[in-house]
Amino acid sequence: MSFDGKELEKIKEKTEIWENEYKNIPKREVKFTTVSGMDVPPLATPDSLEDFDYLRDLGLPGSYPFTRGIYNTMYQGRLWTMRQFAGFGSPEDTNKRFKFLLEQGQTGLSTAFDMPTLMGYDCDHPRARGEVGKEGVSVSSLADMEVLFDGIRLDEVTTSMTINCSASIILAMYLVMAEKQGVSWEKLDGTIQNDMLKEFIAQREWICPPRPSVKIVVDMIEFCAKYVPKWHPVSISGYHIREAGSTAVQELAFTLADGVGYVQECIERGLKVDDFAPQLSFFFNVHNDFLEEVAKLRAARRIWAKIMRERFGAKNPKSWMLRTHAQTAGCSLTAQQPLNNIVRVAIQALAAVLGGAQSLHTNSMDETLALPTEESVTVALRTQQIIAEESGVVNSIDPLGGSYVIEALTNRIENEAFDYIKKIDELGGIIKAIDTGFPQKEIADAAYRYQLELDRGEKVIVGVNKYLNDNEKHMQTLKIDEEVDNNQRERLREIKRKRDNEAVRKHLRSIADAAREGKNLMPFIIDAVREYATVGEISDVYREVYGVYRDPGYF
């Protein structure tokens, strides 16, 4: 894409004529902007691309700066991984759902855990009452993991696990599960979310303060770099930042700033950047604005490539690549007219594909009401399969690349995200920025502005503030049997009765000693879970040694 001076002058002249005519044409009262509030040019031309260089800013797929995709063949080589989020009730319930989804053509597992597990409590803890199995699967010990993956060979699937402050314990259980199946750790492929920085920014599920929390994340990165080379020990997540109300630019900037924070901590540990960076992965939200979301994912790859090569001096091209899972936006779904959510999800999924995601979860139409039924999750999976098999968009690599409006939006998102990253650097890095409440306040302000626009009707949500329907039909939803709580507590009682409790106590003391001495905790946690030490017992060691983080209440 290049124009000589005379050609560009002609384009500018014609554009100015068009713009003058455009001003006098009657238009809708509400000017269209992106979901983030970024103005979309009504007509994009080469003049929209200031200081744009084809090779520098766009290039080819599989080549730095990876704007057009991290692999040279992209979906021509292989499709993205279709990874539907699944987890509810007992391990038996979720194991059944896993197998159902695999039978329906899903190509990777994705595990949701219930709130007690996410917060580091066993199912028999008083704080767990009423929450066991309600929004994810209940896992307290290795015995639960054995049931969860019963009949599923861990070397034949890739597994994603969405868990953070107790991620080290769940990963240890997964590794011991592999041992029990006779599967070498070198063959395990998958991801564990394990992004504690975004917890302090947005999702707010934690045990310890930021510093020790990040220390445990680095322990896992270091351990996996040595012993589990195909595993992604952290999925640096913008998804929850966006769900909390951020703009697309804030989601991108704060997520990549988190990534910078982890890389810096690993380097300070003494790790070489090219030894661990290829195992880092990302997770982004895909919201309603189609063009903005495509541009966001393209900008994300370009920014990360520049950061890793120019800021951290990474030499391995794999260290420059931003590999990302994407999920359609849960916060965009509506309880009103839930069938409309099928359309929203399809548009968002298409944006993820055209943006070049490596794996994708599509939300189910009923997820604002309850956990998805088999019928609704099948429709969500079929949405991906129709895009892959019927739409034809996979037949061209980065088919929107070179579009004036896409490239203009990509450039603007990149520049605005770098402005945020610079501000965070000036504050002393992402952990200090979190301590001051900077990203939290920015997200809160953005969420407030967006809600005001909805309340005023300046933005439309079909079926909510426009095109209402007073005769909606009730949708059948999934119900969690209350017996799940009793059955899970009974299983845990039996495990504690049968295991070697003296060995468990010994291993818990070893974890505490290692934590106080600043050692890598993963070998000690693995030894403990082999003896069926529980999520809650090991999390209690964290609480004892590192203390419990309390929300400072910036608002």
Residue 113 pairs in a beta bridge with 137
Per-residue pLDDT at 483 exceeds 70 = yes
Q: What's the CA gap between 257 and 235, in Å, rounded? A: 13
How many whole angstroms separate alpha carbon 52 and alpha carbon 534? 55
359, two tokens = 């794996």
pLDDT at 555: 57
| Residue 268: φ, ψ to 5° | -65, -30
The per-residue pLDDT for range 523-532, each reduced to its tens digit, is 999 999 999 9
Residues 198, 244 contacting (CB under 8 angstroms) = no
361 pLDDT above the threshold of 80: yes
Question: In angstroms, rounded to a whole number, what is the distance separating the alpha carbons of residues 332 and 461?
Answer: 9
Out of 13-17, 215-219, 302-306, least confident range: 13-17
* Distance in angstroms (rounded) separating the CA atoms of residues 286 and 103: 26
Asked if residues 291 and 40 have their Cβ atoms less than 8 Å apart, the reply is yes
Tell me the residue ranges of DSSP E strands in 299-450.
324-328, 359-361
Which band of pLDDT confidence, cut at 50, 70 and 90, is reported for residue 422? very high
Task: Give residue 15's pLDDT.
Answer: 72
Residue 11 has pLDDT above 90, yes or no: no
Query: Strand ranges (DSSP E) for 363-482?
Result: none
d(CA 458, CA 284): 26
Beta bridge partners of 137: 113
Mean of all residue pLDDT scores within the chain: 93
Going by pLDDT thresholds of 50, 70 and 90, the confidence category of residue 476 is confident
> Does the bond joining 61 to the residue before it have cis omega, within 30 degrees of 0?
no
- pLDDT (0 to 100) of residue 330: 95
| Mean predicted confidence (pLDDT) in 314-336 | 97
- Beta-carbon contacts of residue 401 (< 8 Å; ≥ 6 apart): 58, 67, 68, 298, 407
Residue with tokens 């597992």: 109
Is the pLDDT assigned to residue 97 strictly greater than 80? yes
Strand-pair partners of 112: 162
Residue entry with tokens 């009401």? 369
d(CA 550, CA 49): 46
Least confident residue range of 15-24, 117-126, 179-188, 542-551: 15-24
43 confidence band (pLDDT: 50, 70, 90): confident
* Spatial CB neighbours of 71, under 8 Å, sequence gap ≥ 6: 61, 62, 77
The whole-number pLDDT of residue 261 equals: 98
Paired strand residues for 284: 326
User: Distance between terminal CA atoms of the chain?
Assistant: 48
Q: Is the pLDDT of residue 1 over 50?
A: no
Of the candidates 188, 192, 258, 196, which has an alpha carbon nearest to the alpha carbon of residue 228? 188
Count CA atoms within 13 Å of residue 551 on its CB side: 12
**What gap in Å lies between CA 400 and CA 404, rounded to an integer?**
9
Amino acid in the structure at residue 193: Q
At 346, the amino acid letter reads A
CA pair distance 47, 85, nearest whole angstrom: 43
**pLDDT tens sequence across 100-138:** 999 999 999 999 999 999 999 999 999 999 999 998 999
Tell how far CA 252 is from the center of its chain.
11
Question: Taking Cα atoms as reference points, which of 232, 308, 222 lies closest to residue 265?
Answer: 222
The angle, 0 to 180 degrees and rounded to 10, between the axes of the packed helices 340-355 and 290-306 is 30
What mean pLDDT do residues 395-403 have? 94
Token look-up 């924070």 returns 261
Extract the tokens encoding 542. Answer: 């964290």
The amino acid that residue 167 corresponds to is: A
362-375 tens-digit pLDDT: 999 999 988 889 99
**CA atoms lying within 13 Å on the CB side of residue 258:** 32
Note the pLDDT of residue 204. Answer: 92
pTM comes to: 0.92
Pick from 26-30, 185-189, 300-304, 502-506: least confident:
26-30
pLDDT band at 29 (very low <50, low <70, confident <90, very high): low
With the C-alpha atoms ordered 171, 176, 180, 183, is the resulting torsion angle positive or negative? positive
pLDDT of 2 strictly over 70: no
CATH superfamily of 54-455: Methylmalonyl-CoA mutase (3.20.20.240)
Range list of H helices, 228-272: 239-243, 248-269
What's residue 10's pLDDT? Answer: 76
pLDDT at 23 over 80: no
CB 277 within 8 A of CB 258: no
Q: Which contiguous run of DSSP H or E holds residue 293?
A: helix 290-306
Instruction: Return d(Cα 304, Cα 320) in angstroms, integer.
Output: 7
CB distance 415 to 38 below 8 Å = no
Task: Look at residue 287 and tell me whether its pLDDT is greater than 50.
Answer: yes
357 by DSSP, 3-state: which? coil
Q: Is 180 exposed, middle or buried (0-12, 13-18, 19+ CB in 10 A)?
A: middle
* Beta strand 324-328 pairing with 281-286: parallel
The residue-averaged pLDDT of 468-475 equals 82
pLDDT value of residue 30: 45
- More confident: 547 or 12: 547
CA distances from 420 to 250, 254, 447 (A): 8, 8, 17
